[in-house]
Each structure stands twice: as structure tokens, then as C-alpha cells.
Chain A
């Protein structure tokens, strides 16, 4: 075994520290450079957000993709591009999680509008290669969960969560829910369940790592839907929750056991919003910053019209 000194890269993540200020930053500039080159996007015109809030992508089921020439987008190219983005997202880029989740829903039969969306994520990365997650600039910790009700073409909702520790995002997810929610409350309730499973895992991990001071912060789960919060706090018999599957009452139990405390967070500050929606630029930047993401001088910032992206 040999000691190679200070840790600077691990699994493609680049790590740098300012120990005097107790700051640690994490980014993937090298990997992003590599995938931009691989897909010929290195000189692409940067975009300010990963998704256009005004376009709604749907899958075109009327096209028979098994027929040669029926699709303009090469299947393998599309899937490998989405895969490249996925790895970036998993490492240090929670800001593209929703966008990557969305484009990956069309992996089976991509059309040209889906490819345009993929290229836009690349364009966004091209402008934000250096965007970093920074730990230590604030001591913000906590868990946020959010849902976008009935957003998909199939009317399933998108649920998502972001966890912060020491001022930076440590865990995030954006996932289409498996069953259809009948109201925003239900959608949020299911998203909270998804988040609480992760919280429990994280709490034990923090305990094992001896970070007991963070345990309390990590037991706070923020939601922005009062209905879902009251439902979880007080699981009275409501006729309209009868059909919510047993698993979603998981969160109720955790609240009763005092493993999780639910808190209200107004939608405007709900940073898990970035996991469930295509946001306009100002909100996108605000939430990204709240996740501890900073740096990444946007190239061509002054030359872009806001409307053009």
C-alpha cells in the first residue's frame, strides 16, 4: 500500500479544500469536459438553465421505432448521451437531476425534440463546467421534499428530495412516482415517504460516523404542502387517503416514533422544487445556490438574452 497524499480526485470527482476556512469543494469539471468532447458539444452555445420551462416533452408512441428510418435520433447515441449526463448528475450535479430524469424517460424511442432537450442539458453544462458543491460556507443542514402533481404524460407525479449537510447537498433524487396521486397532498405525501426512507439510512450512517450533532438537524423534513404535513402528523381516518398504499403510511409511523419532525417551508424557499420542475433561470440559480453550488463562471453570460434560452 502506498500513501498518495492529499485526496484530490476520487471516482472522477475533483476535490479541493481551503482548510483555513474549513471549506471543501467538489466538482466534475474534467468529466464534464470529457463528455462534452465525446458528444461534440465542447463549443456549444451555453444555456442558462438545463430545461426550457415552456416545452413539454411527450413520448411519441405513434412512431414505430422498429421500422428502419422511422426515427431521426440514433438510439445508442441518445442513450449513451443520457448515461453520460446521469453520471455527472450522480456525482456533483443535483441541478440537472430533473432534466436528466425527464430525458431518460424517452430512452426507448427518442425523437428529435428529445434530442434537442439532451443537447440543451449539455449546453447548460458547457456554461457551468466549474459549478461546485461547497461544504462549510454555511452550516445549513436539513431535508427537503417536494412533488409536482400529475406532471407526466401518464399523469404520474414527480417526487424529489434534497438533503443538505454543512451547507452543501449530500443526497438528492428526482423520481417519477410509481402510482398515480389524486391530489397534490397525496403526491407530496408519497414524496415525503421517499425522502424519509433516505433520512433513516442517513441517520444511522451519521450515528456510525459519530456526527451526533447533525442527527437532530437531519431529522427535520421540510415539506411545502400543509395538507400532507397534517396528514402525516395526525393520521386520522380520512376517506380520501384510504387508497394510499400502506407503504406511504411509513412516514406517519416515523413521525410518531419521533425519528422525523415535519416542518413547513413556503414553496418559494422549497429547494427540492429544482428536483421536480423545469424552473426559470432566477429560481433555478437561487435553489442551486441554496444547495451549496457556486463558482462556474457562466461563459458568454453578457451576450445571452434571457429570452433566448
Chain B
């Protein structure tokens, strides 16, 4: 089937993993066409790199997009003109903006963040991006995220890319993410389940905190996933910009669970579970994301790398 970029971010080569493809309009009009489409051409959700804000996005149905989609890379040329054919549907105001006829290239303006290292460093915020990128590289090296290895024959090499996000408060964040969707179940990873907090537990906790006038704090873990040690053998491509450190023909054998891998959240949970057990916490049998320390009277609720701490005395919050 002939594929054609639908419009999102089309026209640049670096971020083709975000471009959604749909059956070209010549073959359109077949029954069930709508259901076949991956997702509506909504604007990219803010790609959230950081801990504090995971809230509004992580639980959102639209964050799935944060992970790169499986790529069937078409010969992408910068001349690709995106033909937009409006579907017959109910238009709301926001949709009108989204599907504005001139939007083919204009999507670039919607997502201000650069999509590649080259673009970031060459752009107007080049200096800020460079600083943020260097800090991420340093963090990766400090955590000994990978060891350089020879390309193993017959192994799946996971791709990777840099994510660039401008935070609401003006900070610049860069993070290396693996293209986890290319990992194959049973070969590259096995169990991926990672539990999430129940809203009910949170509300029960808050109701009790209010009643007993407990302290309520939030904590985040910087680059949380890099704390998790991988059990599987996973090889990753050389990241852009680090070609000098990793010679050609070599790849990175991952030691730590970097963002984007299918198993990273689970690895992180195992890590934090051990941490809490070592510090005298007991995991709730009713909600596995809740930890209680009876001696110190501290409760902790875990949602990925977002922690809520409730304690009777403020000193107990370390």
C-alpha cells in the first residue's frame, strides 16, 4: 500500500517517527477506513520529560504518542508536499485550527521544540539546548548507562533519539529515549507490567491527612529510570552527537533502563520497591503503590517517579 505522510511534522527527515501514515487518499472511501487509522491528526501533546508534571500527561490518553511510533520509513524528502483532504466530520473550533489548509508546513510552528540535535544546536536557542544536552550526556555517563560493544550478529538493535522539551517555566530539557516499540516481546523483553496508583487510594490518603493534619510533601527522582538495572541484553544504536566516542561498527549495550524501553517502568519499580523495603516500609496489600512505615509514621504513594509523602512529623520527611 502506498503510504503518504498525513501532515504532522511532515517535511523534515529527522522526526519521521512522529509522522503518521494513512492510506493514500486514492484508496480512501473504503468501509472501515476511519477505524484503521492510527489516531486523529491532533497536534502533538507536550512531550513531557520531567517528573513534576507527569500528572497531567502520563495518565492522559494522548501520551501514548510520546513513544515513537513504529517506523516504516518512506523515502522522506524535503519536497514532500502534504496534500490535505478534509474528511467529512463535525468541526469544532479547535479542529478548524488544526486542519487549516495551510497547515502542511505550519505544524512546525505548533511544535516549537526541535526534533534533532542538529536542529536544536543550530536553532535560535542553540546555546540553551547545548547546555541541556550536555547535562543529559553527563547524567548518562555518570550513571554508566551503557558499555560500548561490538555489533552483535542477529540481535535487534534498538534505535534512539534525543527528545527536546521546553518546560512551561522556561527550562530546557533534553532526554535520550530508546525506540522501545521496535523491541520484540519474548526476545528483547518479557514482563512489562508496572503498577500505577489508584485514585481512590490517593483520596483516602488525602482525607486522612486532612483529618490528622499530617505533613504532605511531594518528591521527584531525577532521571529515575537510570537507577534501574536491566536484566536483559539490549543493544542500542549510537546516539546522535556521540559518534566520536563510539566508533563505527560498535553499539551501546545498555546497562541501565533508559526512557522509552518497554521494560523501564517495571525495572524502576523493582528498584524503588527494594529501596522502601530496606528502609523499613511495608507495601500495602490493597494497593501495591502504597508503602507504609509504621515506626516513623510515614506513608508513601508512588506513581512512576512521582512520590507523595505523608508523615505525622515534618522531620520524618527525608
Residue among A8, A11, A66 making CB contact with B59, cutoff 8 Å: A11
CA distance A166 to B294 in the complex (A): 22
Count class of interface residues, chain A: 35 or more
Q: Are B55 and A10 neighbours in the complex by a CB distance under 8 Å? A: yes
Tell me whether B200 and A170 are in contact (CB under 8 A): yes
- Chain A residue contacts of B61, Cβ below 8 A: 80, 83-84, 87
Q: Chain B 33-72 against A: per-residue CB contact (8 Å), 1 yes, 0 no?
A: 1110101101000000000111110111110000000000
Please, how many angstroms separate the alpha-carbon atoms of A170 and B56 in the complex?
20
B93 close to A40 (CB less than 8 A): yes
Chain B contacts with A in 81-134, Cβ cutoff 8 A: 87-90, 92-96
Task: Tell me if B136 counts as interface (CB < 8 A to partner A).
Answer: no
Tell me the smallest distance from the CB of A82 to a CB of chain B, in Å.
10
Q: Which of A193-228 contact B (CB under 8 A)?
A: 201-202, 204-206, 208-211, 214
**Cα–Cα distance between A1 and B33 once the two chains are bound (Å):** 48
Q: Which B residues are in CB contact (< 8 Å) with A12?
A: 55-56, 59-60
**What A residues does B294 contact at CB under 8 A?**
210
- B residues in contact with A83, CB < 8 Å: 61
A12-26 CB mask vs B (1 if < 8 Å, else 0) is: 110101010011101
Decide if A23 touches B210 in the complex (CB within 8 Å).
Answer: yes
Report if A34 contacts B (CB, 8 A): yes
Q: Is the CB of B308 within 8 A of A10?
A: yes
Contacts of B8 in A (CB 8 A): none
Task: Find A204's partner among B34, B286, B299, B308 (CB 8 Å cutoff).
Answer: B286
Q: What chain A residues lie within 8 Å of B88 (beta carbons)?
A: 68-69
Residue contact B219 to A4, C-beta cutoff 8 Å: yes
Contact among B56, B60, B206, B219 with A135 in the assembled complex (CB-CB below 8 Å): B206
Count chain B CB atoms within 10 A of each CB in A22, A75, A205, A206 and give the residue with the most.
Answer: A205
- Name the B residues within 8 Å of A245 (CB-CB): none
Complex CA gap A24/B202 in Å reads 13
Q: How far is the CA of A37 from the CA of B42 in the complex (A)?
A: 13
Determine whether A231 belongs to the interface, using a CB cutoff of 8 Å to chain B: no
CB <8 Å contact, A2 and B205: no
CB contact between B55 and one of A9, A40, A204 (< 8 Å): that residue = A9
Contact of B153 with A by CB under 8 A: no
Nearest B residue (CB) for A67: B31
Q: What total of A-B pairs shows CB separation below 8 Å? A: 175
> A34 to chain B: which residues have CB within 8 Å?
56
Q: Is the CB of B210 within 8 A of A135?
A: yes
Q: Give the distance in Å from the alpha carbon of A99 to the alpha carbon of B62 in the complex.
A: 22
Chain B residues near A73 (CB-CB < 8 A): 89-90
- The smallest C-beta distance from A113 to any residue of chain B, in angstroms, reads 13
Once bound together, how far apart are the Cα atoms of A165 and B317, in whole Å?
25
Query: From residue 19 to 43 of chain B, which have CB atoms closer than 8 A to chain A?
Result: 29, 31-35, 37, 39-40, 42
Which residues of B have CB within 8 Å of A72? 90
B272 and chain A: residue at smallest CB distance: A1
- Please pick, from A3, A77, A170, the residue contacting B89 in the complex, using a CB distance under 8 A: A77
**A135 and B303 within 8 A (CB):** no
Q: Which residue of chain A has the shortest Cβ distance to B206 in the bound complex?
A: A24
B77 at the binding interface (Cβ < 8 Å): no
Check A7 against B31 for contact (C-beta < 8 Å): no
Proximity string of chain A (59-77) to chain B, C-beta cutoff 8 Å, 1 when within and 0 when not: 0000000111100111111
Query: A107 contacts the other chain (Cβ, under 8 Å)?
Result: no
Determine whether A31 belongs to the interface, using a CB cutoff of 8 Å to chain B.
yes
Instruction: Return the chain A residue nearest B37 by Cβ.
Output: A76
User: Assuming A17-B216, A136-B211, A209-B208, is B197 touching A11 (CB within 8 A)?
Assistant: yes
Known: A73-B90, A76-B39. A17 touches B210 (CB 8 A): yes
- Shortest CB-to-CB span from B229 to chain A, Å, is 18
The listed residue (B90, B209, B285) touching A74 by CB distance below 8 A is B90
CB neighbours of A66 from chain B (8 A): 31-32
In chain A, what residue has the closest Cβ to B303? Answer: A11
Choice from B29, B94, B290, B303 contacting A39 with Cβ under 8 Å = B94
B203: chain A residues within 8 A (beta carbon): 26, 133, 165, 168-171
Q: Which residue of B lies closest to A76 (CB)?
A: B40
Q: Kindly provide the distance from the CB of A40 to the nearest chain B CB, expressed in whole angstroms.
A: 4
Within 8 A of B (CB), among A166-201: 166, 168-171, 201
CB distance from A134 to the nearest CB of B (A): 9
**Cβ of B313 under 8 Å from chain A:** no
Output the least CB separation between A96 and chain B (Å): 15
Q: Is A301 an interface residue (CB 8 A)?
A: no
In the bound complex, do residue A205 and residue B287 qualify as a contact, i.e. CB atoms below 8 Å apart? yes
Residue in chain B with minimal CB distance to A292: B207
Q: Apart from A80-B62, A165-B203, A209-B292, what are 18 other A-B pairs with CB-CB below 8 Å?
A: A1-B219, A5-B218, A7-B217, A10-B308, A11-B306, A12-B56, A13-B55, A15-B216, A22-B211, A66-B32, A69-B88, A75-B35, A133-B203, A136-B211, A166-B210, A204-B286, A205-B204, A211-B208
Q: Which 5 A-B pairs have the closest CB atoms?
A: A74-B89, A40-B93, A24-B210, A40-B92, A40-B94
A-B contact pairs, 19 of them (CB 8 A): A3-B219, A4-B217, A5-B218, A8-B218, A9-B55, A10-B55, A13-B199, A15-B216, A40-B94, A72-B90, A74-B89, A74-B90, A76-B37, A133-B203, A136-B207, A165-B204, A202-B200, A210-B292, A211-B208
